[in-house]
Amino acid sequence: MNASGTAEILTENGGKAPAKDAPQAIRLGVIGATGYAGRELITTLAHHPDVRITRLMSSGRQEKGAFPIEKTHPALKDRTREGQVRSCEPLDLDNLSRAAVDLVFLATPHETSHEIVPLLLARGLRVIDLSGAFRLKDTSAYRRWYGFEHLVAGALEEAVYGSPELNAEAIRSARLVANPGCYATSIILGLAPLLQAGWVDLASGIVCDSKSGASGAGRAPTQKLHFAEVNENCRAYGLFSHRHLPEVLQVLGLEESCFTFTPHLLPITRGMLSTIYLRLAPSPGISADAILDLYGKFYAQAPLVRVYERGTLPEVQAVAHTNYADVGFGFHASTRRLVIVSALDNLGKGAAGQAVENMNLMCGFPQETALA
Amino acid sequence: MNASGTAEILTENGGKAPAKDAPQAIRLGVIGATGYAGRELITTLAHHPDVRITRLMSSGRQEKGAFPIEKTHPALKDRTREGQVRSCEPLDLDNLSRAAVDLVFLATPHETSHEIVPLLLARGLRVIDLSGAFRLKDTSAYRRWYGFEHLVAGALEEAVYGSPELNAEAIRSARLVANPGCYATSIILGLAPLLQAGWVDLASGIVCDSKSGASGAGRAPTQKLHFAEVNENCRAYGLFSHRHLPEVLQVLGLEESCFTFTPHLLPITRGMLSTIYLRLAPSPGISADAILDLYGKFYAQAPLVRVYERGTLPEVQAVAHTNYADVGFGFHASTRRLVIVSALDNLGKGAAGQAVENMNLMCGFPQETALA
Amino acid sequence: MNASGTAEILTENGGKAPAKDAPQAIRLGVIGATGYAGRELITTLAHHPDVRITRLMSSGRQEKGAFPIEKTHPALKDRTREGQVRSCEPLDLDNLSRAAVDLVFLATPHETSHEIVPLLLARGLRVIDLSGAFRLKDTSAYRRWYGFEHLVAGALEEAVYGSPELNAEAIRSARLVANPGCYATSIILGLAPLLQAGWVDLASGIVCDSKSGASGAGRAPTQKLHFAEVNENCRAYGLFSHRHLPEVLQVLGLEESCFTFTPHLLPITRGMLSTIYLRLAPSPGISADAILDLYGKFYAQAPLVRVYERGTLPEVQAVAHTNYADVGFGFHASTRRLVIVSALDNLGKGAAGQAVENMNLMCGFPQETALA
Amino acid sequence: MNASGTAEILTENGGKAPAKDAPQAIRLGVIGATGYAGRELITTLAHHPDVRITRLMSSGRQEKGAFPIEKTHPALKDRTREGQVRSCEPLDLDNLSRAAVDLVFLATPHETSHEIVPLLLARGLRVIDLSGAFRLKDTSAYRRWYGFEHLVAGALEEAVYGSPELNAEAIRSARLVANPGCYATSIILGLAPLLQAGWVDLASGIVCDSKSGASGAGRAPTQKLHFAEVNENCRAYGLFSHRHLPEVLQVLGLEESCFTFTPHLLPITRGMLSTIYLRLAPSPGISADAILDLYGKFYAQAPLVRVYERGTLPEVQAVAHTNYADVGFGFHASTRRLVIVSALDNLGKGAAGQAVENMNLMCGFPQETALA
């Protein structure tokens, strides 16, 4: 912030200049800008022709006062665009009003989102919350899964689960979008076509074994995420108890007893693979071709979901550093066993990319703008 | 080989010396010495007080003539022990006789093992074969799973599946041990106690999702194992069709229709994790404590299997560069869903370590010599 | 290619459609499309508003006939744009004429480039060659450094070394641009300001220790690039003999005796760091501030070079997956020792990014289009 | 600790048993057992036939009371040997007396070692300190390089720098050994033969560019060592100011102005490579063969230093998970430029391995016991 109280803004290649008048551009705030999802939001939005970031804020940082965002994200050096703020300030609700911002991305801890979303909505701002604070419909579920008491039942009710493939219409007019969890996105996109079609033998149960890169666990240093503890390692965690489980059950309408989900930590930075095991219900018409056709039709209008032909399978490398979710499968016809493989970048389609996709829907832009 | 036809041998720290007389030491041949399993065999055997490697051979290398083993394995430089050969020669059966060798390790391709095992047995040598050529009992299975016609039904019948936890007695007196596959070992050790006890609800099916480091795929360079294709990646492969599947079914007595196995490639060099999903049959006494007790008793005499207490789970790092297999689990009592996590080093307990363990049994040494 | 002989083209999200009329778009050929640099060119060009890829060709692939590019680069699935070819065909000069193509990128082996560049120029095409075949001015140097006899002295003479920071004017009007090597780019950008200013004590010698990710070595599988050989490793290679050395000497006007360069292989996919050691000539005015000022002015007009403030240093992560080169330094004033750190993505500014930057100059587009 | 106040000890395979009488075994304490060097000490000492760990202590851990060491190091589960303590207690000097311990390894922070070494010596214990607290001879250097005031000049004077290749005799009788830094070891072993022979042109300066795995930075979680910050990255740090610099200068007798050292962080867990650049003084007899001969003779009696033949170079993978230091070089005869490459495992020869080697000398065991 400079002396006159307006954020310092930059010309294309880094020189200082007065903010250009860009009346049609949507003005954005990114809260939680110092984390990995925050960085990804800034990087992705830099390629969007119709928006402008006017507020960068961090939550929970020790630093007092504003600092250039490249200080925490050196990759962003000189990359902020004309008319875009590059100074990151501590979270300050007074500086988040309709005068400066139209829509706010929250890449903040669950508890922070829970606290400030109602205040932002009250100011007339639209909000896309990347935390889990508004994904579940049942306030009491927050006690069990998130360990805090949810006090904003109204916002929970209003919140739209931000899965563009399932809820595009509701997202377009939403004030509050609860951006899905990364694991949840990969699972939901892998299972939705089959479940909607009623093809799954639910009595046999569904097993989902997911593997995620470490950036999904955030940027705060911990023993478990220390380099030498993750490198050359792979481990399961959160058996029967991961927070993305209840949102999967809620969105897909599944019982907890028939869905087993185990997340694993991979020694990679970005990307996630879910391997999903189930048995199809007996039916004369079911074949690999029919399954492929079902997925193809379900995602025909989804610009960021790619369905794989038979004989090829999604893998992390095909989606890392992209905003796509890839889905493929192998089918053992005689026993009706189906293995679905679903891949995405946990920071892309699993977080910031899907958030921008939701923003595109909310603002009437083509859904894949800045993402494909 | 020097002019006199005897292998060049070394003193402790690399200087040349006449071979010391060590009449009680078991004399070993390692065939396939230039691969990763070969290197691991040499490294492990270097710490064994009662054996001496007298033949190192490669199969399929272009090079003509002998070469120092450190040429392909620089880590072995100066590490061969007194009285131990360090020169690796091309596969030469004439040089593998009782005059020089008591027992031979084969870390060779399936087809090579299939061809030479009968010849080695005929010379009175004992053989531990790390390939899959003698793991299955049914010759016709080789057509389907390995793509070649098996012509040595007698040796198949005689071969003992080298799982020390299941077959210790038979291994002790075996002439031919078929050393288990790495995936198979991790799965069998994870499931054997439960299946033997009859606790599994087989009708619900068993799912095994395994993740392996890249050294398990061998040392031959291929596109799929090129650094930049494996690094920062994770991918499933071999759906319903991996070669370790039939040996798991055979050893555990399972039907193919009730066991789904998907291997994945991890961006690590060594180590493997199998996450196994099943439902226990209803029974009043079954609890997490009872399961732990079952595993503890099953492996009470197994020096290289470690059972994890409740609340902790095996991970790759705890077993990498060791010869242990670790087993742990999470149990969802109300739905009787059980998730077993089994970890090992694919070059250790999954290959060379288990081979040496089998050798220890065959030779009457303590089972864990040079391994714990 | 379809029956009518025109390349199959795609609408934005993958549906087939007749090619849209886009008369102003520059039509591009990418030869060597199946390698890593080829993939990066396609990915980068997909974000360029003023160009269209009309030919994708591979050189040296076994496959006969055309195949969808996503077959070798799954990440490109559905990402080719409207009016853009997605079918990759074997190298076929007859299909590379002014009727279909304005400018050709060659991401081909040195020998292939050496052979086809004269033919492409003769057809009136402009060429950006990513190989080393036209970087050196002296034909005889090719015998020593590249092991083949250079037969096209005229093209060597005409070729412009594609360093936009040094040769922008010549690049704008060039028919043939020799795109710099990745190591060479990181070294040249690190040293050019100082050498041009005459500040270096050349008698003390310059040492350059560079570290590169494995994608710089290409996509062909070899033992040295096998995953388990690169992972958890770091090794020096090419002492005194790397092919990028002569182009550095030529461009910077240095004697071989005063410049020592050692490349190292890092266990990462993308990115490169050069640490450059030298002593400044004695001069009263030289200080860290003066050095920073020198670099700042030298690169004031370079949109893709970022100069670091004192106290911060470039690192691989800040440039990986970008087209920037970052330069910073540490200065020991009392002994005039200077350590320069230069970082770039070997596939970005070190290959495809710089090639597109050169194309932008050649075509009159803003230099950083699709790159910043 | 059990009720009777004696440490709980284990039989070979984990069962509890009364401590076996092993009167000749040296009794060891490992302080700082919860870090990476501590773990490596325990793992290495487990293969040593003549020692027994009787005290495991942590310094600085929050936990109160003792805990099984496998809680922080799962890889150590069931691996402690008969007669060996497996319970780790908080640092407690009262529990470190001649009654229980003969020799103590300190893998503690510099300040902790500085504080407790005099107390341990006063109790008649011999000490091998892996910190930097007793490596420098000049107390005032501690202010500059370590940021604390050194108060134990007597112990500094008495301390023997634990480089077995340089100081074997002094180490044998030392009460206090200052175990060298990892970077320092790799540099000293690379340079000592040449400097001792007086072959180096010191006026040209020596440049040392070192690259280290992340375990060298310890186990405490920090932002800089967070997995996603180290992975797919490489960065220089500590320009002109790393703490291992003064010990290199002191041991090799070099002036600071002629030795430039830059450490780099590699995205690997274990291992280090130093690339050292210098010019040899003019002399008629100097050749690559002469250099090789010099190194060969210098290290003829060093069991853990391996000198590489011409045409091959050390690399990290050949030394990772070993206790060797490897040295090789490339020589440009006409310009007398020499590039030395030195590799070791920062936890092996760079820390715990060298500490055990020093212990072997101090106790009269063969120098390479449990290490080769």
For A321-330, the pLDDT digits (tens) are: 999 999 999 9
Strand ranges across the sheet with A235-236: A235-236, A259-265, A206-212, A272-279, A337-344, A325-332, A305-307
At B5 the pLDDT is 34
Residue A231 with chain D: CB contacts under 8 Å: 214, 227, 230-231, 267-269
Nearest to C226 among B225, B267, B268 (CB): B225
**Alpha-carbon torsion, ordered A328, A330, A334, A337, to 10 deg:** -80
**Under 8 Å CB-to-CB from D123, ≥6 apart: which residues?**
D96, D97, D98
Cα–Cα dist D312/B64, whole Å: 20
Site from A226, A265, A317 to mutate, D interface, most D CB atoms within 10 angstroms: A226
pLDDT confidence tier of residue C15, bands split at 50, 70 and 90: very low
Q: In chain A, pLDDT over 70 holds for what percent of residues?
A: 92
Cα–Cα dist A336/B243, whole Å: 21
pLDDT mean by block of 10 residues, chain B; 372 residues? 35 37 79 97 95 94 82 89 84 94 98 97 98 97 96 96 98 98 98 98 97 96 97 98 98 97 98 98 94 98 97 97 98 97 98 98 97 94
Q: Report residues of chain D scoring pLDDT below 70.
A: 1-23, 61-63, 80-82
Neighboring chains of B (3 or more beta-carbon pairs < 8 A): A, C, D
| Predicted confidence (pLDDT) per residue in A31-65, tens digit | 999 999 999 999 999 999 999 999 999 987 666 79
Q: Are D127 and D117 in contact (CB under 8 A)?
A: yes
Taking an 8 Å cut-off on Cβ atoms, the answer to whether B232 and A271 are in contact is yes
Q: In chain A, pLDDT over 90 holds for what percent of residues?
A: 88
At D60 the pLDDT is 77
Shortest alpha-carbon distance between residue B202 and chain A (Å): 11
Element (H, E) at C245: helix C244-252
Q: Are D316 and D166 in contact (CB under 8 A)?
A: no
| Closest by CA position to A226, among listed C209, D219, D240 | D219
Which of A286-300, C84-98, C221-235, D114-128 has the lowest average pLDDT?
A: C84-98
By 3-state DSSP, what share of chain D in percent is helix, strand and coil, each rounded to 5? 35, 25, 40
Residue B360 has φ and ψ, to the nearest 5°, of -60, -45
Tallying the residues shown for chain B, one arrives at 372
Whether C241 has a pLDDT exceeding 70, the answer reads yes
The mean predicted confidence, pLDDT, of chain A is: 92
At A64 the pLDDT is 76
Q: In chain C, pLDDT over 70 holds for what percent of residues?
A: 92
CA dist list (Å): A12 to A80, C305, C366, C369: 7, 14, 12, 12
Residue C272 with chain B: CB contacts under 8 Å: none
**How many contacts does B have with C, using Cβ atoms within 8 A?**
60
Burial class of residue C237 in the structure, from the number of CB atoms within 10 Å of its CB (0-12 exposed, 13-18 middle, 19+ buried) = middle
Cα–Cα dist C275/A278, whole Å: 53
| Predicted confidence (pLDDT) per residue in D192-230, tens digit | 999 999 999 999 999 999 999 999 999 999 999 999 999
Taking an 8 Å cut-off on Cβ atoms, the answer to whether A221 and D219 are in contact is no
Distance in Å from the first CA to the final CA of chain A: 34
Q: Are A354 and A339 in contact (CB under 8 A)?
A: no
Question: Could you tell me where the DSSP H helices lie in A46-205?
Answer: 110-122, 139-146, 153-158, 164-172, 182-197
At B63 the pLDDT is 64
pLDDT confidence tier of residue C79, bands split at 50, 70 and 90: confident
Residue D54 has φ and ψ, to the nearest 5°, of -115, -10
| Closest by CA position to C73, among listed C104, C105, C32 | C32
Cα–Cα dist C268/C321, whole Å: 12
Q: Around Cβ D334, how many Cβ atoms within 10 Å?
A: 7
| Predicted confidence (pLDDT) per residue in A228-281, tens digit | 999 999 999 999 999 999 999 999 999 999 999 999 999 999 999 999 999 999
For the ranges A76-90, C71-85, D38-52, the maximum mean pLDDT occurs at: D38-52
Cα–Cα dist B113/C91, whole Å: 42
Neighboring chains of A (3 or more beta-carbon pairs < 8 A): B, C, D
Cα–Cα dist D266/D244, whole Å: 18
**How many contacts does C have with D, using Cβ atoms within 8 A?**
133
Taking an 8 Å cut-off on Cβ atoms, the answer to whether A335 and B257 are in contact is yes
Q: Which chain B residue shows the shortest CA-CA distance from A204?
A: B204
CA dist list (Å): A267 to A163, B93, C236, C363, D269: 28, 43, 25, 43, 12
Taking an 8 Å cut-off on Cβ atoms, the answer to whether A322 and C77 are in contact is no
Residue D113 sits at the vertex; the CA angle it makes with D108 and D115, to the nearest 5 degrees, is: 135
- Token pair 């003779």: residue: D297
Tallying the residues shown for chain C, one arrives at 372
Whether A309 has a pLDDT exceeding 50, the answer reads yes
Taking an 8 Å cut-off on Cβ atoms, the answer to whether C227 and B223 are in contact is no
| Predicted confidence (pLDDT) per residue in C197-220, tens digit | 999 999 999 999 999 999 999 999
Give just the sign of the alpha carbon dihedral A86, A92, A97, A103: positive
Shortest alpha-carbon distance between residue A370 and chain C (Å): 9
Cα–Cα dist B98/B120, whole Å: 10
pLDDT confidence tier of residue C136, bands split at 50, 70 and 90: very high
Site from A206, A212, A230, A232 to mutate, B interface, most B CB atoms within 10 angstroms: A232
DSSP for residue B269: S
The pTM of this model reads: 0.94
Q: Are A267 and A232 in contact (CB under 8 A)?
A: yes
Give just the sign of the alpha carbon dihedral B317, B318, B324, B326: negative
DSSP for residue B102: S
User: What ipTM describes this predicted complex?
Assistant: 0.93
Which of A4-13, B101-110, C119-128 has the lowest average pLDDT?
A: A4-13
Q: Are B367 and B162 in contact (CB under 8 A)?
A: no
Look up residue D266 and give its two tokens: 């590699």
Taking an 8 Å cut-off on Cβ atoms, the answer to whether C226 and B219 are in contact is yes
Look up residue B82 and give its two tokens: 């007194």
The residues on D that touch B, with CB distances below 8 Å, are 12-13, 47, 74-75, 77-79, 232, 303, 306, 312, 314-315, 317-322, 324, 326, 368, 372
Taking an 8 Å cut-off on Cβ atoms, the answer to whether B226 and C232 are in contact is no
Q: Which chain C residue shows the shortest CA-CA distance from A316?
A: C75
Nearest to B269 among C36, C214, C228 (CB): C228
Residues of B recognised as catalytic: 182
Neighboring chains of C (3 or more beta-carbon pairs < 8 A): A, B, D
At A61 the pLDDT is 60
Residue A200 has φ and ψ, to the nearest 5°, of -90, 135
| Predicted confidence (pLDDT) per residue in A126-178, tens digit | 999 999 999 999 999 999 999 999 999 999 999 999 999 999 999 999 999 99
Whether C81 has a pLDDT exceeding 50, the answer reads yes
